[in-house]
Structure 1
């Protein structure tokens, strides 16, 4: 029983390493969209750039605004948002750019 409790506690601590912070706090399971920037420009094109985190041990990806603009073929930015998905041991953070 002690071994199971120890393994559960260790798994919980490792899982907490993969959770990104949000405006509403940090949680083991989260899915939020957060505003970053809005301008007077308009546009219907959308570009995304994402990075992932596994157990807080492996983080990879390019979530830069420039990469999101390139992926959406955007030259004039209308808005920038952040899309966060976190599932205990895995999380993904994407920069979402809209514009034309």
Structure 2
């Protein structure tokens, strides 16, 4: 059976954005905790479940594949990006955020 039930794709993307915002809140403070594999796996698991819903994918799809399909970097990299923006104090400037995202993706 196809996995097509629930809200539309746009609504799922908004919900994923909300989940990312909640998880990344305070990232400059707890980013160091992601050096431990246990905590990194916990964060990656939350993101994977969210992205599976966005992509309407089955649970057998790996985290890496669903991140590529939805064009979303891993949360551990996004946390590093947020930490960098916080430390430089330039997180409110759109151009600086754009450069930081390019740095994260590369």
Fold shared, TM-score > 0.5 on shorter chain: no
Specify which structure has the bigger relative contact order, considering alpha-carbon pairs within 8 angstroms and separated by 6 or more residues: 1
TM-score, normalised with respect to structure 2: 0.26
Greater fraction of residues in helix: 2
TM-score, normalised with respect to structure 1: 0.27
Flag the structure with larger Rg.
Answer: 1
Greater fraction of residues in strand: 1
